[in-house]
Structure 1
């Protein structure tokens, strides 16, 4: 992998990841852009103990542009985009409309101290998987999929060192049904200035499980029990295990774990990195066949769960090493032409109702395996 860093016209960083060491990236961004100047804020919810981003500048972000105006395509034939080169393998750049940006700052108090806010420190990046506008991640070859994995890993290493960053989240949203506003195959990376609520909840469950009599690592026990049950296992490779969880929230939801357990992408071994493209591309291609070959491509979210980056030592650092890196892949489509909406119970009370039994979902995902 060859890595080349450059700057866009407004000062944002762009990083190219190339398969060939001979690749040369020298194209300049010739757009007349003003300097990037986002100022996101985060506000604390005292009832839920959550942080909420307030980002007025994102209201004007690019929304469903036609294919010939896609900002993620290469700059060709006189049309200038976010990616100055005429071609590329994988490109990562700072989001023009970030949810988190800049360094940490002091808290400000409101409402007699009950309400607090602070700058939305961190960074948001866009990861363009290919220059081919009409492709999908599932269309990538194994070599390109490995390059994306290496880019995710490198960005995790870089972003985790930024002041104030506690957690790095690599993810992909695919499909207009999910809310995607750019159809070009791409993902995003968020560097959060806090530990996300979902991860904090996992860490609490992890700690509580370890304190029970005979309690071992929660993630290890979970994977072992899924393998022992067997009926929800979708794919079991030499270095990865994929299964539909016992209490899946979504109609078709797969969790992918490496063997052995590691806390983040940085700790992933070479054997697991080598096998990942085979396993992940197979899962994505199965997702596209769930509802039949005549159906549109399945919308999905693919989300990497990594341990927060805890500075120093102590209980938090020890618990971090007990966390298990894993990828969650799920779709909101529950049947051909039918979507799973987050309505009253899910959105109002965070209680999910799943119409597809996890065992039936796993069976279907086994049925559509590549021959």
Structure 2
């Protein structure tokens, strides 16, 4: 793969003022000057966040999202390029990778209000949900999936994730940037065009806070990063490794919670996507595609999954962070879902129906015919 590839970035605006960004990896991309001719009302996000006094966790309230687009027919997909008589969120007739502000955001820069408390009682902190939510379309092909992208296109997407991480980290109120993909109706996806999202949160997420506390305690005791030691142990053992490259290893975590769960971890500690080198970005594309294609072969059907990047908070703890991608699925058999039991949803005490070693073996066996 060409580590010196060039991606052209073009910034435009949609009819309601939202930004749309085109990332072209084609050798001779067309000018991106199409005009969004839809008559759209101004986005009116009314997000707020409230901190649970019993757990210390922030919860977002975004009631305006009740009217968001829900399972449109394929010929009216809002993520496909615009066709004559069928305008979409992307005014151009074609694109490589495109990013635009979500029309129904959970967090937005335009929200207003003061930091206060619910009912003025001083118990439950309340603040504007100030951040940003973006949609990332990986391809203009409605029927493709991330697993069927070319390595070159995956590399473009990695560059896009890094670009958006850098830009979103500069916005007012943003504390953490989370690029992720939800795929499959079983996960809750309502738009089937291959796409992901990026949330720029106004707080550090509960999971990240817990991981940072754990990393801090481990470093104080051992002088090393916990994920670095986990990675080294997994590479020595090999029993849970799913795919490996020169710069990344994908493995089932040794205390996996989900029926399918994989961590994709760089061999070098970096805090976020912006710190990855060109060769590391290339190698990720190869390793991750092998993981995804093995996942789709596991049950002989497209695997529903969530895949998201764990990155450092914007304003600190970079030395405690080790960038990695986590993929998990609720599908425990071809036609069976894992439903969270009372212990799991109520107390966050997980019970897995398979061992991590069994999960890894199944993924390797599914992927083996694809590598012959």
Q: Distance in 2 between matches of 1:59 and 1:105?
A: 21
Residue 210 of structure 1 and its aligned partner are, at CA, apart by: 1.2
Q: Distance in 2 between matches of 1:162 and 1:232?
A: 39
Name 2:351's counterpart in structure 1.
353
Residue 105 of structure 1 and its aligned partner are, at CA, apart by: 5.1
Gaps of 5+ in 1: 311-316
Q: Distance in 1 between matches of 2:273 and 2:229?
A: 21
Kindly report which structure 2 residues correspond to 1:109-148, keeping only aligned pairs within 5 A, or say none.
109-111=117-119, 112-148=121-157
Name 1:216's counterpart in structure 2.
224
* Kept in 1: contact 2:26–2:96 (CA 8 A): no
| Alignment: residue pair count | 360
TM-score (normalised: structure 2): 0.94
Residue 343 of structure 1 and its aligned partner are, at CA, apart by: 2.7
What SS is found at the alignment partner of 1:82? coil
Residue 321 of structure 1 and its aligned partner are, at CA, apart by: 2.0
Residue 211 of structure 1 and its aligned partner are, at CA, apart by: 1.4
What SS is found at the alignment partner of 1:149? helix
Q: Which residue, out of 104, 114, 132, partners 1:106?
A: 114
Q: Distance in 1 between matches of 2:58 and 2:138?
A: 30
1:126-165 deviation digits (Å, cap 9, x = unpaired): 0011111111011111111111111111000100000110
- The answer to whether 1:91 aligns with 2:102 is no
* Kept in 2: contact 1:2–1:21 (CA 8 A): no
What SS is found at the alignment partner of 1:53? strand
Kindly report which structure 2 residues correspond to 1:265-344, keeping only aligned pairs within 5 A, or say none.
265-291=273-299, 293=300, 296-310=301-315, 317=316, 319-344=317-342
1:46-70 deviation digits (Å, cap 9, x = unpaired): 0010111111100010000110111
Kindly report which structure 2 residues correspond to 1:153-164, keeping only aligned pairs within 5 A, or say none.
153-164=162-173
Q: Distance in 2 between matches of 1:10 and 1:181?
A: 23
* Kept in 2: contact 1:259–1:272 (CA 8 A): no
* Kept in 1: contact 2:178–2:200 (CA 8 A): yes
Q: Distance in 2 between matches of 1:29 and 1:364?
A: 47
CA RMSD of aligned residues (A): 1.2
* Kept in 2: contact 1:235–1:241 (CA 8 A): yes
What SS is found at the alignment partner of 1:241? strand
- The answer to whether 1:8 aligns with 2:6 is no
User: Mean Cα displacement is larger for which, 190-199 or 74-83?
Assistant: 74-83
Residue 368 of structure 1 and its aligned partner are, at CA, apart by: 1.9
Q: Distance in 2 between matches of 1:285 and 1:208?
A: 37
Name 2:51's counterpart in structure 1.
44
Q: Distance in 2 between matches of 1:366 and 1:105?
A: 51
Q: Distance in 1 between matches of 2:279 and 2:311?
A: 19
1:183-214 deviation digits (Å, cap 9, x = unpaired): 110000000000000000000000111111x3
